[in-house]
């Protein structure tokens, strides 16, 4: 099973929050003072966000950083439980 | 008030977990296949751990990544609440 990476879950969570607010990449990148390309790469889990930029993006989204990390922790928890469970193979 | 950085809280949490297991930097760095200097810098919040290396360090500590991020989220939550609270100045 593919290993879930924290940066992918952080990116997914940030994107979900932005979508939930109906905001564009351009809007949030301007507000967070990060480049649009960088924000887009972070959201797609292709780039690690530094702690400073993660804080800036959360501030731009007006979401506490603790909430974002809490959601990431919850997603990881579900994935870890699924990986720990033995795979059930159903014969035809 | 100083902004708390995620990498500092991650480092602190990893160090607490290692101390709790009575293990040395050398032991955990060998097990995680990261250099001792790198692990030490991560623990001191001086270097961002990549997602891959964070996963390797958690595996070396035999602690789910979700637990580490959950603890970081909890610590941030406390700090955010403290920052939101108005400062009380007690006159002498």
Mean pLDDT taken over chain A: 92
User: Over the stretch A56-66, which tens digit does the pLDDT of each residue have?
Assistant: 999 999 999 99
Instruction: Find the range with the poorest average confidence among A40-44, A87-91, B8-12.
Output: A87-91
User: Over the stretch B21-48, which tens digit does the pLDDT of each residue have?
Assistant: 999 999 999 999 999 999 999 999 999 9
ipTM (interface predicted TM): 0.87
Write down the pLDDT at residue A70.
Answer: 97
Write down the pLDDT at residue B87.
Answer: 66
Mutate to test the interface with A, among B52, B73, B82, B85 (most CBs of A within 10 A): B73
Q: Cα(A4)–Cα(A8) distance, rounded to whole angstroms?
A: 7
Residues of B in contact with A3 (CB under 8 A): 55
Residues of B in contact with A8 (CB under 8 A): 51
Residues of A in contact with B50 (CB under 8 A): 7, 48
pLDDT at B8 over 90: yes
Residues of B in contact with A77 (CB under 8 A): 64, 66, 70
Average of pLDDT values for A40-65?
96
B80–A69 CB contact, under 8 Å: no
Domain residue ranges of chain A, discontinuous segments joined by +: 6-84
Q: Cα(B92)–Cα(A52) distance, rounded to whole angstroms?
A: 38
Question: Coil, strand, or helix at residue B77?
Answer: helix
User: Over the stretch A70-90, which tens digit does the pLDDT of each residue have?
Assistant: 999 999 999 888 888 776 666
Mean pLDDT taken over chain B: 92
On whether the A6-84 domain is CATH 1.10.260.40, my answer is: yes
Write down the pLDDT at residue B1.
Answer: 52
Average of pLDDT values for B50-77?
96
CA distances from A50 to B5, B7, B17, B62 (A): 9, 8, 23, 25
Q: Cite the DSSP H helix spans in chain A.
A: 6-20, 25-32, 36-43, 51-61, 65-84
Chain A residue with Cα closest to B78: A66
Contacts (Cβ under 8 Å, ≥6 apart) of A49: A7, A10, A42, A57
* Chain B touched by A81 (CB under 8 Å): no
Write down the pLDDT at residue A83.
Answer: 83
Contacts (Cβ under 8 Å, ≥6 apart) of A44: A11
């Amino acid at each position: 099973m593919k290993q879930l990476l924290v940066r992918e879950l952080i990116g997914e969570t940030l994107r979900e929050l932005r979508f939930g607010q109906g905001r564009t990449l351009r809007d949030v990148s301007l507000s967070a003072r990060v480049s649009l390309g960088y924000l887009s790469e972070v959201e797609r889990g292709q780039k690690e966000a530094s702690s400073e930029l993660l804080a800036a993006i959360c501030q731009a989204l007006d979401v506490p950083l603790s909430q974002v990390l809490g959601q990431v922790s919850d997603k990881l928890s579900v994935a870890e439980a699924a990986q720990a469970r033995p795979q059930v193979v159903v014969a035809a």
